[in-house]
Amino acid sequence: MPGSPQNHDQGLQHVEISERDCAFQQIRATGPGGQHVNKVATGVRLYFDIQASSLPDAWKARLLALPDHRITRDGVVVIRSDAARSQALNKAAALARLQALIHQVAVPRKKRRPTRPTRAAKNRRMDRKTRRGKLKALRGKVTG
């Protein structure tokens, strides 16, 4: 069933985003292309409402918390794609980018456990500092 979490080979959860969950707007692409690019609306702008989606609540919260410029204050993801010359390819590219964004929040980040440097690492650091200090001491004024 589209939109429902499924187990993947690696144990990751995967969500298929169907085109029904998204709204598309056809736009004129930018850049070179002459008359074709000026007349044909091959670019696509994808709108995905996070709150209205069938994603799990934890994923919705993580998506809304992302510091991403593509997510509006209203909780709508806006993705623009106009790299390809065909509307179908741009639509597929926009959906792939949305899929990547959702996959980014699908796996919760592991909390970092702070570690301390080992004794050997401390000794290496002190040796480097001592050597560097001796080198700099040689730069002093010459007396004699």
pLDDT tens digit sequence for 18-47: 778 889 999 988 878 788 777 888 899 999
Q: Is the pLDDT higher at 76 or at 32?
A: 76
Residue-range domains of the chain with CATH: 6-106 (3.30.160.20)
Q: What is the pTM of this model?
A: 0.66
Q: Is the pLDDT higher at 63 or at 129?
A: 129
DSSP 40-64: ---EEEEEEETTTS-S-HHHHHHHH
